């Protein structure tokens, strides 16, 4: 072998090594040559976003780009206030402490050996706002972590899902208006009054529908979406601002509205599924989140094709945000909060799961689905505080 051949072979070997190295660096897969170790981040998580958090693309971005391995433990929003926010409380972490807790021994976030959290990801802004306050020991509230950073991360507005003939009838009643292909409930007071006076569907020209006009919702007493909806109704009855004075005048009306609503599902997923399966005769109008139809269109394209020309999405004027809020307790939690603001992750959140991101909900390309979804949500009321919701729910329960 002559000198030129040897040099050629060496150059070839070097090039192969460089190419392998570049691929290893660019792929970013955990375990790659230059990928580095992953940092575990533990998050106590409220419901309503499980599919998004488990999305393979999102997980890959968090691992490859941010070197984060995120572990989500499911918590109900209310328990984050009353229980010590430690992994052992939901059966994870230190098994010895889990066993001791089952035998009645008490632990706090400050106890030695417990597994603490880096962040809390609520599914309701009122719990995020409330968590940042000092715990009320008179109400047996648990000690809390200090929130280093946080805010609104995933948003979706309350909407009313209905059907073509129902919306056409409501347009004639001057309750619904259509603007650039988007349907708005421009007179919520009138629609609420129709329900309170037990006006029949046949009275608005829908002779094929039986019974009184109604909007099905989840139970506000036991369901966060239902509570958000009734918070919106209370705000509308109060002229957009709930005060100590007007809440006392409006709670009886809302209780009457609640009674006339009849049977209620406990979960929005069940209600939305029943709406799709039973059609206009089963559920003429239901309350749910905007994200539900986008999630459905992506997870069940065949089913979506069957119903997309019949369904209508109505946006109350005003509506209210359901906001999933992120509270970071540690530096690792802050890193994860930063990662959720990544444009790639935000794109997935909207296009696959229907979550608007950012403080105002952003502006989005809504043309792909062929539905009346506005690019921006501009008419909203402010989320009610925890004390107001508690007063509302206790009144509905009769306490």
Structural domain includes residue 142: no
Domain count, the chain: 1
Quote the domain boundaries for residue 246: 157-320+371-397
Contact 113, 97 (CB under 8 A): yes
Whose tokens are 């691992």? That residue is: 63
Q: What is the pLDDT along the chain (399 residues), one digit of tens a residue?
A: 555 545 555 554 445 454 445 444 444 443 333 457 999 999 999 999 999 999 999 999 999 999 999 999 999 999 999 999 999 999 999 999 999 999 999 999 999 999 999 999 999 999 999 999 999 999 889 999 999 999 878 999 999 999 999 999 999 999 999 999 999 999 999 999 999 999 999 999 999 999 999 999 999 998 888 999 999 999 999 988 888 888 999 999 999 999 888 778 778 888 999 999 999 999 999 999 999 999 999 999 999 999 999 999 999 999 999 999 999 999 999 999 999 999 999 999 999 999 998 654 555 677 777 789 998 888 898 888 899 999 999 999 885
Decide if 227 is inside a domain: yes
Instruction: Check which CATH number belongs to the domain holding 212 and give it.
Output: 3.40.190.10
- Residue 380 included in any domain: yes
Instruction: Please check whether residue 337 lies inside any domain of the structure.
Output: no
Q: Report pLDDT for 3.
A: 52
- Judging by DSSP bridges, how do beta strands 68-74 and 39-45 pair with one another? parallel
- The predicted structure's pLDDT at residue 370: 78
Strands (E), 55-148: 68-74, 119-121
- Give the phi and the psi of residue 294 in degrees, each rounded to 5: -70, -45
Q: How many CA atoms lie within 13 A of 192 on its CB side?
A: 21
Q: Judge whether 190 and 316 are in contact, CB under 8 Å.
A: no
63, 340 contact by CB (below 8 A): no
Catalogue the E-assigned strands of the chain.
Answer: 39-45, 68-74, 119-121, 149-163, 176-179, 182-185, 286-289, 311-316, 319-328, 356-357, 380-381
How is residue 36 written in tokens?
């580095």
β-sheet bridge partners, residue 69: 40
Cα distances (angstroms) measured from residue 101 to each of 71, 77, 111, 205, 318? 22, 21, 12, 61, 46
Instruction: Please enumerate in sequence order all residues whose Cβ is within 8 A of that of 270, keeping only pairs 6 or more positions apart, or say none.
Output: none
The answer to the question of residue 97 being in a domain is no
Q: How far apart are alpha carbons 6 and 16 in whole angstroms? A: 16
> Closest by alpha carbon to 73, among 40, 96, 99, 102?
40
Nearest alpha-carbon partner for 157 in 398, 39, 318, 397: 318
Q: Give the pair of three-digit tokens for residue 381.
A: 């009321």
* Residues paired with 185 in a beta bridge: 176, 316
Residue 65 is assigned to a structural domain of this protein: no
Asked if residues 231 and 383 have their Cβ atoms less than 8 Å apart, the reply is yes
Flag whether 393 is in a domain. yes
Instruction: Return the pLDDT at 95.
Output: 97
How far, in Å, CA of 176 to CA of 164, rounded? 12
Three-state secondary-structure class, residue 360: coil
pLDDT of residue 357: 84
In a domain, 279, yes or no: yes
Which has the closest alpha carbon to 307: 338, 336, 278, 328?
Answer: 278
């Amino acid at each position: 072998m002559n000198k030129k051949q040897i040099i050629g072979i060496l150059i070839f070997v070097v090039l192969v090594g460089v190419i392998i190295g570049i691929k290893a660096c660019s792929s970013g897969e955990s375990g790659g040559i230059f990928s580095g170790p992953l940092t575990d981040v533990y998050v106590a998580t409220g419901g309503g976003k499980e599919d998004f958090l488990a999305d393979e693309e999102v997980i890959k971005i968090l691992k490859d780009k941010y070197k984060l391995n995120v572990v989500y433990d499911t918590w109900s929003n209310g328990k984050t206030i009353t229980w010590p926010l430690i992994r052992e409380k939901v059966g994870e972490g230190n098994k010895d402490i889990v066993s001791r807790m089952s035998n009645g021994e008490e632990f706090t976030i400050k106890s030695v050996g417990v597994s603490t959290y880096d962040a809390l990801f609520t599914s309701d802004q009122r719990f995020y706002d409330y968590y940042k306050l000092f715990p009320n020991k008179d109400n047996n509230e648990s000690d809390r972590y200090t929130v280093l950073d946080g805010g609104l991360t995933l948003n979706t507005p309350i909407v009313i899902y209905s059907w073509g003939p129902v919306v056409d009838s409501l347009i004639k009643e001057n309750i619904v208006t259509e603007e650039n292909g988007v349907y708005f409930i421009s007179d919520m007071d009138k629609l609420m009054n129709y329900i309170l006076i037990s006006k029949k569907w046949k009275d608005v020209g829908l002779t094929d529908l039986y019974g009184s006009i109604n909007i099905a919702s989840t139970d506000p007493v036991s369901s966060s979406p239902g509570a958000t909806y009734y918070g919106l109704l209370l705000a509308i009855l109060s002229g957009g601002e709930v005060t100590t004075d007007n809440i006392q005048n409006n709670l009886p009306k809302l209780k009457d509205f609640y009674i006339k609503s009849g049977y209620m599902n406990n979960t929005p997923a069940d209600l939305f599924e029943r709406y799709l399966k039973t059609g206009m005769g089963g559920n003429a109008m239901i309350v749910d989140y905007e994200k539900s139809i986008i999630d459905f269109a992506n997870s069940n394209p065949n089913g979506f094709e069957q119903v997309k020309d019949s369904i209508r999405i109505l946006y109350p004027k005003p509506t209210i945000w359901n906001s999933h809020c992120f509270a970071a307790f540690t530096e690792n939690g802050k890193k994860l909060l930063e990662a959720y603001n990544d444009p790639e992750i935000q794109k997935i959140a909207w296009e696959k799961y229907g979550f608007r991101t950012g403080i105002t909900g952003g502006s989005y390309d809504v043309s792909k689905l062929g539905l009346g979804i506005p690019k921006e949500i501009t008419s909203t009321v402010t989320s009610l505080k925890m004390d107001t919701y508690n007063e509302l729910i206790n009144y509905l329960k009769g306490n």
